[in-house]
Amino acid sequence: MLTNKKRWPYRTRLALVAMVLMTVLTSLGNAPTASAADFAAPDFRFVWDRTDKPVKDGRTSRTYLWGPEPFTGALWEEYDQAPGGKRLVQYFDKSRMEITNPNGNKLSPYYVTNGLIARELMSGRVQVGDNRFVQRAPSQRGVAGDADDATGPTYAALDKHTAGDTDSVGILVAGSINRNGDIRYDVGDYGKRYQVSYAYYERTTNHNIAGPFWSFLNQTGLIGTGQGNLVNGRLFDPVFYATGLPITEAYWARVKVGGVTKDVLVQAFERRVLTFTPSNPPAFQVEMGNVGRHYYEWRSGSGNNNPPPAENACAKVPNPVNANLRPGKCVREGQVISMDIGNFYPNEEVGFWLTDPYDNVVAGTNKTLNIGDEGAQFDLEFDTTDLYSGQWYWVFQGTSSGRKAIIYFLIE
């Protein structure tokens, strides 16, 4: 029972991961901008024509694999094994195309490659040769959603979770990740809500691939033949050509997309980040993140890869309703808050429950307290130890009057 002058602990036992980011920065220099249809090489156009030209021409409805057109011109980036130590590259929204060996076999699907750029964004290790890397600070850009999203995970956050996992094929994907990379398995009820399971286990990296992503990588559809014809074929051939291998598990996140915060499943691969948004139309539920654009901005320094400026979150916490709160609406984890509640019938039983930042009721519901002769209680204390960051709230509701007292507080 919740009583005066007593602490009522609620413990969730989060495992918080600490990480120090290196900040060694180098400069790529300014790069020219391409016109919309300006491909740096016929081989780049051939790769793009195969999957994305049918989309741009309106012949099929699906997400782009590269983007509607390149957004840079021809660039020459440092790579030790390329002729003269430079290789031809060009950037698209979803990735980068590159030719390292112009004298190689043009019939090979790997004559044009697209770089392990998602892994580089996560780790900060820019590959400039087969065995040479330049260390930068990992990207603090969100992997999905609007540029000003402040809740979805960053590339640096995902890098905390590249260690291999066990075979989980057939198991529901229930883990969720926040901006800083903290993982939880007891909020959101995502697994049951969306019924998304792991469908494939990649033993090379020891990571599972979520069902929607595995289906996406094995889909067939209209593709270009190179002679102007369209046929039905595999979009990804070989299957990991465009994405590379999985390097994290899949995690649910709350991401701001088009100004609306949505549930989004994210998973990092070596070359791409895939997202699954259940609320999207079926043809666009699985999409490629804009890794190419994010990488170009990060490497060239032309964009802002830092989180958006912090808002005054405390000012946005609603005021108490029929209640008082001490020491204030914003507290650190582990602080004890003291609450006064009132406006109830004398001596009625009052139910109470605690709701977390994901709108899950996590304590109370089946308990009541007697409000006393004054229809109020004072100095109800609550220990916030182990509550994770975000806005929480207590609701107290009279079983006879139906009146409520609500206390909102933010764990910083």
Residue 252 to residue 215: CA distance in whole angstroms = 18
For residue 378, the domain's CATH number is 2.60.40.1930
Contact 161, 248 (CB under 8 A): yes
Q: Domain tally for the chain?
A: 2
Domain limit, last residue, from 253, 279, 300: 300
3-state helix, strand, coil in the chain (%, to 5): 15, 30, 55
Q: Are residues 317 and 290 part of one domain?
A: no
pLDDT of res. 367: 82
Q: How far apart are the first and last CA of the chain?
A: 27
Contact 388, 184 (CB under 8 A): yes
- Range with the largest mean pLDDT of 105-114, 240-249, 323-332: 240-249
Angstrom distances, CA of residue 376 to CA of 319, 379, 380, 395, 398: 18, 10, 11, 14, 11
Q: Are residues 105 and 249 part of one domain?
A: yes
pLDDT of res. 8: 37
pLDDT of res. 266: 98
**pLDDT per position as a tens digit, 383-407:** 988 787 788 999 999 999 999 999 9
Q: Are residues 338 and 200 part of one domain?
A: no
Name beta bridge partners: 326: 338
Place of tokens 């290789």: 87
More confident residue, 181 or 189: 181
Contact 265, 251 (CB under 8 A): yes
Cα dihedral 372, 377, 378, 380 sign: positive
Residue 224 to residue 86: CA distance in whole angstroms = 30
Give the contacts of 312 (CB within 8 A, at least 6 positions apart). none
At residue 303 the predicted structure's pLDDT band, cuts being 50, 70 and 90, is: low
Contact 146, 258 (CB under 8 A): yes
**pLDDT per position as a tens digit, 20-42:** 222 222 233 334 444 444 899 99
Q: Are residues 193 and 284 part of one domain?
A: yes
**pLDDT per position as a tens digit, 305-318:** 554 444 566 778 89
Q: How many CB atoms lie within 10 A of CB 308?
A: 12
- Mean pLDDT on 215-225: 96
Domain extent at residue 117? 42-300
Residue 27 to residue 244: CA distance in whole angstroms = 26
- Range with the largest mean pLDDT of 22-26, 207-211, 358-362, 378-382: 207-211
Structure tokens at 186: 């007891």
**pLDDT per position as a tens digit, 71-89:** 999 999 999 999 999 999 9
Q: Are residues 293 and 326 part of one domain?
A: no
Q: What is the largest CA-CA distance in the chain?
A: 89
Structure tokens at 65: 């694999």
- Mean pLDDT on 97-101: 96
Q: How many CB atoms lie within 10 A of CB 204?
A: 9
Asked whether residue 20 is domain-assigned, the answer is no
- Mean pLDDT on 229-252: 96
Q: Are residues 283 and 347 part of one domain?
A: no
Q: Are residues 248 and 103 part of one domain?
A: yes
Q: Are residues 317 and 294 part of one domain?
A: no
pLDDT of res. 370: 93
Tell me the pairing of strands 230-234 and 220-224.
antiparallel
Give the contacts of 282 (CB within 8 A, at least 6 positions apart). none
Within 185-326, strands assigned E span 198-202, 207-210, 220-224, 230-234, 251-257, 260-268, 273-276, 286-288, 323-326
**pLDDT per position as a tens digit, 258-271:** 999 999 999 999 99
Q: Are residues 326 and 280 part of one domain?
A: no
Q: What is the mean pLDDT of the chain?
A: 86
Residue 278 confidence (pLDDT) above 80: yes
Contact 224, 230 (CB under 8 A): yes
Looking at this protein, which amino acid is placed at residue 327?
P
Q: Are residues 273 and 154 part of one domain?
A: yes
At residue 333 the predicted structure's pLDDT band, cuts being 50, 70 and 90, is: confident
Angstrom distances, CA of residue 292 to CA of 227, 272, 359: 28, 8, 34
Q: Are residues 237 and 272 part of one domain?
A: yes
**pLDDT per position as a tens digit, 115-171:** 999 999 999 999 999 999 999 999 999 999 999 999 999 999 999 999 999 999 999
Residue 401 to residue 344: CA distance in whole angstroms = 7
Contact 241, 109 (CB under 8 A): yes
More confident residue, 216 or 15: 216
pLDDT of res. 20: 25
pLDDT of res. 13: 30
Q: Are residues 375 and 267 part of one domain?
A: no
**Burial of residue 377, with CB atoms counted within 10 A of its CB: 0-12 exposed, 13-18 middle, 19 or more buried:** buried
Looking at this protein, which amino acid is placed at residue 400?
S
At residue 19 the predicted structure's pLDDT band, cuts being 50, 70 and 90, is: very low
- Mean pLDDT on 205-230: 95
Give the contacts of 42 (CB within 8 A, at least 6 positions apart). none
